[in-house]
Chain A
Amino acid sequence: MPLAVRSVESFAEAARLLAAEEGARLLAGGTLLMRAVNEGDVRITVIVRCTDPGRELVRREGERVRIGAGVTLSRLARAPEAAFLAPVVRAVGGPAIRNMATVGGNLFAHSPYGDLGTAFLALDARVTLAEGGTGRELALEDFYRRRDHRPPPVVTAVSVLRPRDPAAFRFRKFSRVRPKGASVVAVAAHLPAFGGRLEGVRIALGAMGPTPLRARAAEAALEGRSLGTETAGAAAAAVLDGLRPSSDAIASEWYRRELAPVVMRRLLLAEEPRR
């Protein structure tokens, strides 16, 4: 079946095309879709290009920052409104990938890829979808539950909490290849403290399941307490609770289980790994 390319000017129109045609896929940066096309994935019959003007916005909205789905990782790394995300972006891909890959596309990357989604999950991300012409917002966790459904959801923007204290947001990624490589484990944490006590802790793990996942037991081990060696140890011990990481070309399940508590503890205590 030959491929077709359709260009549309709005996310709503893109959503209608994806719903109407089984083999239609939305092109964002191309780092996922063109890969599949190059591999000869015959399920893809229509590539939908979307030039919606809203796709490149980055805007502060109260306690949050709203990021258009088409914002490239390079642009995100330079956006002053989202400076707290720059270290996360720098951990993803080389410069060429970052010039292409988009915020919206990253949410469709399958484990062990999609580090940005891990960071977003710790920042209580909300995803806006184009549906029936009107935008609809849902929590990132709910989005992940339906991202591979048919028709594929069309993401128009992501909104994340802006950490009041930049030091309260932390991200650590462990990869076998330096400086860049796929995550063996990625951990993102939002650790707001009020009068020395942690309140509203959110911890997300990447590459430890089919999508980024909350580490709820580790969150509970920290909530209401102060951050120290003991609480960090308790959180690290609880980090695997309920998780079943998979084995892939990057790492085995066993290795991920060994490593996740170590990366969690390093993140909480701001320790540098021994080299």
Chain B
Amino acid sequence: MSPKPVRFRLNGRERALFVEAGRNLLDALREGLGDLTPKYGCGQGTCGSCTVLVDGEPVLSCLMLAEAAEGRAIETLETFDGPELDPLQQAFMDHFAAQCGYCTPGMLMAAEALLRREPDPDREQVVEAISGNICRCTGYEPIVRAILDAAARRAGRGTAGGGGS
């Protein structure tokens, strides 16, 4: 089978590449386009470290056929490309929500999807939003606090008790 051309928008830019049949979107992004922000964790849809947004909704890029991305809008962590950190990223830093950092891109994308849909989430909504993302370092609590704080920062309510914990 010869490779198929696939076109989609990646973080607002039109991109095109050839993919081998059966290749997943994560491989296409990392190896085809050099966007290394989504991580390969399990390849099973269990860990969430490959989470990207497709038309604004979180999906697991390791389980999505790359050619199914044709014509869709894909967003990875590279979507935060300003000179300053996004308040969500800053909140993760301030709350020590990343230790080894491998789950962090997936956590940020899952959190970003939540905050777009629900700019003022409660704790339960945050826990639900990241329930498909595994973190083996933090015990989740700093991540939950960071996401709640990011919502407050984005709403201009300042920081809801930043710092460590």
* Cβ–Cβ contact A100 & B22, under 8 A: no
Is A30's beta carbon under 8 Å from chain B? yes
Complex CA gap A5/B60 in Å reads 20
Number of B positions contacting A (CB below 8 A): 32
* Cβ–Cβ contact A49 & B68, under 8 A: yes
Q: What are 25 pairs between A and B in contact, CB < 8 Å? A: A2-B20, A3-B21, A4-B21, A5-B21, A30-B63, A30-B68, A34-B45, A34-B64, A35-B45, A37-B22, A38-B43, A38-B62, A38-B63, A74-B57, A94-B110, A94-B128, A94-B129, A95-B129, A96-B45, A96-B51, A96-B132, A99-B54, A99-B57, A99-B59, A179-B128
Q: Name the A residues within 8 Å of B67 (CB-CB).
A: 5
CB A29 to nearest CB in B, in angstroms, measures 8
Q: Name the B residues within 8 Å of A135 (CB-CB).
A: none
* Cβ–Cβ contact A94 & B48, under 8 A: yes
* Cβ–Cβ contact B60 & A96, under 8 A: yes
Is B36's beta carbon under 8 Å from chain A? no
CB B48 to nearest CB in A, in angstroms, measures 6
* Cβ–Cβ contact B131 & A47, under 8 A: no
Is A31's beta carbon under 8 Å from chain B? yes
Q: Which residue of chain A lies nearest to B129 when distances are taken between CB atoms in the complex?
A: A95
Q: Name the A residues within 8 Å of B131 (CB-CB).
A: 93-95, 179-180
A-B Cβ contacts below 8 A, count:
95
Q: Name the A residues within 8 Å of B142 (CB-CB).
A: none
* Cβ–Cβ contact B60 & A100, under 8 A: yes
Type the 1/0 row for B44-88, where 1 means its CB is closer than 8 Å to any CB of A: 110010010010011110111101100000000000000000000
CB B105 to nearest CB in A, in angstroms, measures 13
Type the 1/0 row for A81-111, where 1 means its CB is closer than 8 Å to any CB of B: 0000000001001111101100000000000
Complex CA gap A238/B51 in Å reads 43
* Cβ–Cβ contact A27 & B65, under 8 A: yes
Is A148's beta carbon under 8 Å from chain B? no
Residues in B lying within 8 Å of A, measured CB to CB: 1, 4, 20-22, 24, 43-45, 48, 51, 54, 57-60, 62-65, 67-68, 110, 113-114, 127-133
Contact of A95 among B45, B54, B64, B132 (CB under 8 A): B132
* Cβ–Cβ contact B59 & A100, under 8 A: yes
Complex CA gap A4/B20 in Å reads 9
Is A271's beta carbon under 8 Å from chain B? no
The 8 closest A-B pairs by CB, nearest first: A94-B132, A3-B22, A38-B43, A34-B63, A96-B58, A94-B131, A180-B131, A30-B63
* Cβ–Cβ contact B127 & A38, under 8 A: no
Is A272's beta carbon under 8 Å from chain B? no
Is A230's beta carbon under 8 Å from chain B? no
* Cβ–Cβ contact B128 & A95, under 8 A: yes
- A8-29 residues with Cβ-Cβ distance < 8 A to B are 27, 29
Is A63's beta carbon under 8 Å from chain B? no
Q: Which residue of chain B lies nearest to A94 when distances are taken between CB atoms in the complex?
A: B132
Is A142's beta carbon under 8 Å from chain B? no
